[in-house]
Structure 1
């Protein structure tokens, strides 16, 4: 294992632990700031995610957004490829997808202009540490090559790290939203 890989593994482990602790004490209104942010983009196609394990839950905010425009959920079609997004509504039929992620069973494919990104850790510079598969980095690179795409990291405030081990292929976040507020990277 390279030095960078070992540093990333340690940073992920610490991020997972902070996230787990925050999840255990999370309040029901954890997505209220995300709702406020998305209200400013009504009608703009966006993507979110169905939370897994100890991820912060964006579904209440996504449900509100779906009343005003297209919302998609990420679908992994193959290893080491960008994500595709299938249209989602709060009442749509869901099925288990790759890695146990819940995805819409049917629906149109959409291309979001806003991507709400789950994460393990973030920093105030817009750095994001994910699970290590590179799916969101590849996806954001592809979408940003086509048009301006807003990447919003959604996490518990305690998932913030001082400095993350990042690589050139890591796509930056344009904004981070937590249960405690909104952070604009510096």
Structure 2
């Protein structure tokens, strides 16, 4: 646990030190790769996220998913120790500040995404994701009635040899970096 905390802090500091233009171009490359994986979003629910602490910014990609007939769902922290709840969001829908001051859909029922895009702090060779340490993401995947395609996204600098996975850690299906 001490190693994970120190590694998380190191990787976030490295990510925040990346130049804004590098992060912007990296986000565009990640979006292009996601398009190749998702292909036809029409009729599908894509669970994405609102960027936080230098994460790849996929908001424009999400708007494009909506334009192509897909539905975008954003995660909401309901309570500490609980799974995340994904709610549909489209331009014009109200947002509110959630945990960590991240914008989340203000209302709406929980939905089951067909594809989940998850930002990574770090990722290892076995596709295990190092997140922020709250366990929300793994808890969410474990609680879903059917498994979505899970895609971890991040910058190449977040690749590490191992996260020393624990029993509750769930690997990503696909990793996409810049």
| Distance (whole Å) between structure 1 residues aligned to residue 103 and residue 51 of structure 2 | 9
**Under a length normalisation based on structure 1, what TM-score does the superposition of the two structures give?**
0.85
Q: Which runs of 5+ in 1 are unaligned?
A: 180-186
Paired residues in the alignment total 173
SS of 2:96's equivalent in the other structure is strand
Q: Report whether the alignment pairs 1:53 with 2:53.
A: yes
Relative to 1, partners in 2 of residues 1:90 and 1:38: Cα closer, same or farther, differing over 3 Å? Answer: farther
Query: Counterparts of 2:19 and 2:104 in 1: how far apart (Å)?
Result: 22
The 1:86–1:18 alpha-carbon spacing in structure 2 relative to 1, beyond 3 Å, is same
Correspondence for 2:100: 99
Q: Secondary structure at the match of 2:143?
A: helix
- Checking the alignment, whether the CA contact within 8 Å between 2:50 and 2:103 is kept in structure 1 is yes
Instruction: Give the Å deviation of 1:115.
Output: 1.0
TM-score by length of 2: 0.88
Does the 8 Å contact 1:23/1:54 carry over to 2? no
Deviates more, 1:158-167 or 1:21-30: 21-30
Alignment-derived partner of residue 150 in structure 1: 149
- CA–CA separation in structure 2 for the residues paired with 1:158 and 1:34: 19
Runs of 5+ consecutive residues of structure 2 not aligned to the other structure: none
Partners of 1:142 and 1:23 lie apart in 2 by 37
Give the distance between the partners of 2:112 and 2:167, measured in 1 at CA.
24
TM-superposition CA deviations, 1:121-179 (whole Å, max 9, x none): 01231110000100000000111xx2232111111111111221221101110011122
SS of aligned partner of 1:26: helix
Distance 1:159 1:21 in 2: 12
C-alpha contact 1:43 1:69 (8 A) present in aligned 2: yes
Q: Secondary structure of 1:65's match?
A: helix
How far did 1:51 drift? 0.4
Distance across 2 between alignment mates of 1:117 and 1:23: 22
Shift of 1:98: 1.6
1:42-121 equivalent positions in 2, closer than 5 A = 42-67=42-67, 68-121=69-122
Q: Could you give the per-residue CA deviations for residues 52-106 of structure 1, whole angstroms, max 9, x where no partner exists?
A: 1211111122111123122110011111000111111133221111221111123
Whole-Å separation in 2 of the counterparts to 1:20 and 1:165: 24
Over 3 Å counting, the alpha-carbon distance change for 1:42 and 1:158 in structure 2 is: farther
